[in-house]
Copies of this chain bind each other. A is one copy, B any other.
Amino acid sequence: MAKSPKQDRSVTAVVNDDISEAKRLEMFRAQVLMRQAEQRAFDLFLENLVKGTSHLSLGQEAIAAGVAAAMEPGDLSFCTYRGHAHTLARGVPVEKVLGELMGRDNGLMRGKGGSMHLTSVEHGVMGSYAIIGAHLPIACGAAWRAQYKGQSDVSVCFFGDGTTNIGAFHEALNFAVIWKLPVVFVCENNLYMEYTPISEVTAVEHPAADRASAYGLPRIIVDGNDADEVYRTMLEAFRKARSGEGPSLIECLTYRHSGHSRADPAKYRPEGELERWKLRDPLTIYKARLREFGVSEADMKAIEDDVKRVVDEATEACKAAPFTSTDILFTDVYADGGWAWRN
């Protein structure tokens, strides 16, 4: 079972490699931003300024960062209810995300969607889907459009380990392969569905990778806590997709530091599990990586501070923003802008 993180990873100093410093700093900043913004979301929840539910990606940031870094403008993301990180990683402003969680008028969807449905078409974030599995076929459809129209964008679909056991997963994978669609399926295996360990309900050890052969796909497993590994794997998947070689299915091994949702104290974890994984916190790993490549502590600190400023300013802006105005209750049910179902 994919239960214990690698702890013996020996780090060898490398001076030049395939990833530029600028790219690395971009990925670092993205991870710091997700971490801070989500911690802030949790604080705001404790202040009762965020209502409803929310699902954090604390500990899983390297995946969103690595994938986003490999994407081109115009590529599309399809996320789950655990979608803050993926939304932020595509460049959606923190203020718009926090504003949405807080039901403010400056929110991404002005409070109509909430935490589980973050969407920013302008940034290629084509929605966050809260019914398990539904967006895998939807991502196929977007990829089909690109293929049909001869457009070069790729659709990326994020989902969890638990999602691999629902029917739509199977239908989407088969469909994507037979139509050779430019879609990349990214499974974030964080070892749990909500509270149940994935190993207790899955017939194979690797819920995504061990199913790849059922669709004629190669078995790909990456360290999901290492943004560089994710990034490199994604570059190859995008290359395949753009050159008409079809979809990829990538299983990223990771762990969530927080509970499943804000209501979950995560008591079901075996003792020591969280602590072991925290040793492999993606930010710890990435800072070590930056050091290896000669980035100074001061430079890292500057990025962290700058992100903190951004998150603080966004928080203040949201607190100052008006609650969403009630006149939007009836708008955008239909394309005519309204809600009339009769004449």
- A residues sitting closer than 8 Å to B (CB atoms) are 165-171, 173-174, 177-178, 200-204, 210-211, 213-217
A173 nearest CB neighbor, chain B only: B203
Complex CA gap A101/B214 in Å reads 38
Residues of B within 8 Å of A202, CB to CB, are 174, 178
Partner of A213, one of B167, B173, B178, B214: B214
Q: Which residues of B contact A217 (CB under 8 A)?
A: 203
Given A213-B214, A214-B213, A214-B214; A171-B178 close (CB under 8 Å): no
A228 CB to nearest B CB, Å? 29
In the assembled complex, the CB of A165 is this many whole angstroms from the nearest CB of chain B, namely: 5
Determine the residue in chain B with the shortest Cβ distance to A168: B167
A167, A169, A215: which has the most chain B beta carbons within 10 Å? A167
Q: Knowing A204-B214, A204-B216, A216-B204 are in contact, say whether A171-B177 is a contact too (CB < 8 A).
A: no
Cα separation A232 to B168 with both chains bound (whole Å): 35
Bound state CA distance, A201 and B168, in angstroms? 16
15 chain-A/chain-B pairs, Cβ below 8 angstroms: A165-B170, A166-B167, A166-B170, A167-B169, A173-B203, A174-B202, A178-B200, A178-B201, A178-B202, A178-B203, A204-B213, A204-B214, A204-B215, A213-B213, A213-B214
Q: Which chain B residue has the least Cβ–Cβ distance from A211?
A: B214
9 closest cross-chain pairs (CB), A and B? A167-B167, A170-B170, A177-B203, A214-B214, A211-B214, A203-B215, A203-B216, A174-B203, A167-B171
Copies in the complex: 2
State the CA gap A214–B200 with chains docked (Å).
16
Evaluate contact between B177 and A166: CB separation under 8 angstroms: no
Complex CA–CA separation, A202 to B211 (angstroms):
15
A209 to chain B, nearest CB (A): 10
Q: What is the minimal beta-carbon distance from A181 to any residue of chain B, in angstroms?
A: 12
Cβ distance A260 to chain B, nearest Cβ, rounded Å: 21
Q: A170-B170, A178-B203 are in contact. List 6 more A-B contacts (CB 8 A).
A: A166-B170, A167-B169, A173-B203, A203-B217, A210-B214, A211-B214
CB distance from A169 to the nearest CB of B (A): 7
A165 B171 Cβ-Cβ under 8 A: yes
Question: Which residue of chain B has the shortest Cβ distance to A212 in the bound complex?
Answer: B214
The residue on B at minimum CB distance from A137 is B167
Q: How far is the CA of A211 from the CA of B213 in the complex (A)?
A: 7
Which residues does chain B contribute within 8 Å of A169, judged by CB atoms? 167, 170
Chain B residues in 8 Å Cβ range of A177: 203
Residues of B within 8 A of A178 (CB): 200-203
Q: Which residue, of A171, A201, A214, A215, has the highest number of chain B Cβ atoms within 10 A?
A: A214
A211–B171 alpha-carbon span in the complex (Å): 13
What are the residues of chain B within 8 A of A203 when measuring CB–CB? 173-174, 177-178, 214-217
CB-defined contacts of A213 to chain B, threshold 8 Å:
204, 210, 213-214
Q: Residues of B contacting A170 with CB < 8 Å?
A: 165-167, 169-170
Q: How far is the CB of A50 from chain B (nearest CB, A)?
A: 34
Q: Which chain B residue lies CB-closest to A201?
A: B178
Q: Which residues of B contact A211 (CB under 8 A)?
A: 214
